[in-house]
């Protein structure tokens, strides 16, 4: 059985895309203690990130269909580079 590296790459990219959203869940109890807030409020951190992706994904997909796949990606790179040059820490 041959390995289809394109499918493997897509699966890895999909997994990696959402890893940064769900990885902090293990830290939520510690963050709640550190900031002195309840579980519901600290879990809003995960909810806000997931909701932002859910609301913007259809639009970014449509923009990518119209402009091509590379243009929105390069625009994001330019915006991030500009923010980094202005002294904003995005990491």
DSSP 90: -
Residue 90 contacts residue 84 (beta carbons within 8 Å): yes
**Strands of the chain, DSSP E:** none
Report if pTM > 0.95: no
pLDDT the model gives residue 65: 76
Euclidean distance between CA atoms 6 and 24, whole angstroms = 29
Euclidean distance between CA atoms 31 and 47, whole angstroms = 15
Q: Is residue 4 very low, low, confident or very high in pLDDT (cuts 50, 70, 90)?
A: confident
Whether pLDDT at 39 is above 70: yes
Q: Which residue has the higher pLDDT, 73 or 10?
A: 10
Whether pLDDT at 88 is above 80: no
Distances (CA, A) of 57 to 26, 60, 87: 26, 5, 28
């Amino acid at each position: 059985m041959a390995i289809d590296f394109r499918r493997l790459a897509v699966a890895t990219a999909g997994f990696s895309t959402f890893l940064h959203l769900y990885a902090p869940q293990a830290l939520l109890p510690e963050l709640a203690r550190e900031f002195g807030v309840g579980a519901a409020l600290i879990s809003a951190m995960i909810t806000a990130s997931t909701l932002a992706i859910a609301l913007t994904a259809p639009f970014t997909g449509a923009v990518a269909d119209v402009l091509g796949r590379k243009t929105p990606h390069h625009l994001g790179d330019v915006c991030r580079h500009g923010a980094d040059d202005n002294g904003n820490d995005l990491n």
